[in-house]
């Protein structure tokens, strides 16, 4: 197949138009594996790691490629340090218990070594109660480090029992210092990637020769900052939080992803909304006359809605989508 990014004949791979990590279920098979990996690194990552997008991903329980859901609490607070008098310096990690939805702290394993006056060595391990199953491994590893033979299963059980009998204690309400890690990524390349793929999805292979398509490919695939003056200037607007004009009609439908295409005179624009965290209108072409469908009578444009929770996808003409809005409005008033 002809890859729509590198324009080379290569085997296809599955590409999610809206990234899979935000529940995007619309896929295309016209992106080669090399470009797919490049898009994931340079475009998708900035979008899916954007703070408000991450919080919504977690709230909606959207799993990543490995099937794990995001824990924004752990991501933001990360590792902390106990700073009370007795245990100053003990490190813990903050996380959200997926079963109880409560915030918890877990001790990070810590090993200290003391040398006595006679040259003897003493080792101390501090581990979380949830890691008690690792005690046998720790004992055997230390014996190996000292050049001693491993304990037999029965002797190892006795050693573990002695450790648990004399060493367990509860830390009540520790005072913990956290240095919050808020990493603001740039989602704009991810937005442009979605706009480009939607433009091709609706306009077909004729779009690949469009000057607007050429400029978008150059910006999306570049390793330079998106505002680099050497890159083409893409027409459009991106907003974080406030929904851009053209998409406000769907404000009453939260937490879904939207895409639409509309043309005016020679301009073709693609509108995008990711949850209600990010929205944009991107100019994808200034050659609307080359696309015969856009000149058809009563054709306003194209529209799609993706629900990342139910994993459903609906597509229609823009005029039908607006008519559905009018019907929904009458129903709500009734």
Domain range summary for the chain, segments of one domain joined by +: 79-178, 186-333
pLDDT class of 334 with cuts at 50, 70, 90: very low
pTM of the predicted model as reported, rounded to 2 decimal places? 0.75
187-241 pLDDT tens trace: 999 999 999 999 999 999 999 999 999 999 999 999 999 999 999 999 999 998 8
DSSP SS3 for 287: coil
Q: Which residues, 6+ apart, have CB-to-CB distance to 171 below 8 Å?
A: 82, 87
Per this entry, what is the length of the chain?
334
Q: Which string of b and e fits 12-41 if b means at least 16 CB within 10 Å?
A: ebebbbbbbbbbbbbebebbbeebbebbbe
How would you classify the pairing of strands 312-317 and 91-96?
unpaired
Residue-wise pLDDT tens digits, 51-104:
889 888 888 888 777 777 777 667 667 788 888 756 667 888 887 776 776 778
Backbone angles phi, psi at 195, to 5 degrees: -60, -45
């Amino acid at each position: 197949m002809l890859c729509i990014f590198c324009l080379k004949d290569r085997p296809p791979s599955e590409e999610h138009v809206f990234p899979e990590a935000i529940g995007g279920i619309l896929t295309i098979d016209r992106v080669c594996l090399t470009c797919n990996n490049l898009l994931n690194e340079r475009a998708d990552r900035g979008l899916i790691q954007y703070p408000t997008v991450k919080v919504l991903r977690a709230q909606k329980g959207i799993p990543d490629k490995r099937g794990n859901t995001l824990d924004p609490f752990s991501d933001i607070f990360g590792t902390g340090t106990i700073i009370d008098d007795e245990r100053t310096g003990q490190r813990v990690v903050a996380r959200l218990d997926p079963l109880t939805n409560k915030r918890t702290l877990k001790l990070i394993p810590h090993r200290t070594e003391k040398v006595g006056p006679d040259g003897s060595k003493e080792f101390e391990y501090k581990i979380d109660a949830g890691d008690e199953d690792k005690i046998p491994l720790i004992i055997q590893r230390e014996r190996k480090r000292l050049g001693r033979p491993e304990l037999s299963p029965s002797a190892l059980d006795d050693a573990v029992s002695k450790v648990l009998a004399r060493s367990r204690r509860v830390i009540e309400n520790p005072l913990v210092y956290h240095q919050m890690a808020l990493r603001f990524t740039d989602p704009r390349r991810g937005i442009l990637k979605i706009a480009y793929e939607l433009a091709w999805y609706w306009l077909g292979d004729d779009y690949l020769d469009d000057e607007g398509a050429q400029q978008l490919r150059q910006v999306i695939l570049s390793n330079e900052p998106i505002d680099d003056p050497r890159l083409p200037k893409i027409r459009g607007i991106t907003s974080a939080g406030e929904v851009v004009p053209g998409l406000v009609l769907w404000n009453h439908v939260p937490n879904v992803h939207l895409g639409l295409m509309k043309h005016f005179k020679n301009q073709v624009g693609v509108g995008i909304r990711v949850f209600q965290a990010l929205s944009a209108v991107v100019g994808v072409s200034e050659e609307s006359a080359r696309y015969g469908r856009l000149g058809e009578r009563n054709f306003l444009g194209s529209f799609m809605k993706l629900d990342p929770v139910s994993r459903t996808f609906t597509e229609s003409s823009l005029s039908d989508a607006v008519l559905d809005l009018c019907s929904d409005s009458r129903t709500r008033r009734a």
